[in-house]
Amino acid sequence: MENKTKIGIGVLALAGVGYYFYNKSKSSMTNITTTNVGQPNKTGFDREKASKELAVLFFPLLNKKQMQPEKTAVVTDVKTGLQMAVPTREQVLSQSLSNYRANLKPPLTELSLYNKFLVGLNGILDDSDAELIVNFYKKLAQSDGKFKADLDTQIKLEKIQKKYPNATKELDLG
């Protein structure tokens, strides 16, 4: 064989080997997946819809609690025998101006509850954590406050509380 033919075959072989290694290194890079450690998990959880559901569930419960009739003392007039309702000492003290201003709260509405839940759920970045809290509150509302979560749920709720203290403080219904 001539030298030119040997050089040509060598160049083709070298190009083939180079092409093989180029494709091999390129294909192994596509198999590597990246994970975002700081990014929350996204499952498409709709916080607005969940806030509406919670507001509708909790409004009658909290409104009933707020509208409890006030206790009054009944006094019977000795001379006439008529009974009169007299405010108790606690009611008189609570009606004083200083106590009234200190305890001034906006009226409870479904909209105010919705906003409270929405702010709290928006403060929780991880969708799975927010979904866990919504499910917990739904069970709590449906059981009239007598629901007790299992140990795993209690542990998860404590972790969420430590992870998002401001959001869970906003979600606290008192």
| Segment 3-16, tens digit of pLDDT | 888 888 888 888 88
d(CA 69, CA 171): 27
The residues near 88 (Cβ < 8 Å, ≥ 6 apart) are 71, 72, 73
Give strand pairing partners of 84: 75
pLDDT at residue 165, as a whole number: 87
CB 108 within 8 A of CB 62: yes
pLDDT at residue 54, as a whole number: 87
DSSP string, 99-110: HHHHT--PPP-H
d(CA 42, CA 49): 16
CB 142 within 8 A of CB 57: yes
Q: How many CA atoms lie less than 13 Å away from 141 in the CB half-sphere?
A: 19
Residue ranges covered by each domain of the chain: 47-171
Mean pLDDT (whole number) for 148-170: 87
| Residue percentage of the chain with pLDDT more than 70 | 63
Cα angle value 118/48/164 (rounded, 5°)? 40
Mean pLDDT (whole number) for 23-50: 66
How far is the CA of 81 from the CAs of 29, 73, 75, 157, 158, in angstroms? 96, 16, 10, 58, 59
Residue bearing tokens 């916080």: 47
Q: What is the pTM of this model?
A: 0.53
pLDDT at residue 66, as a whole number: 54
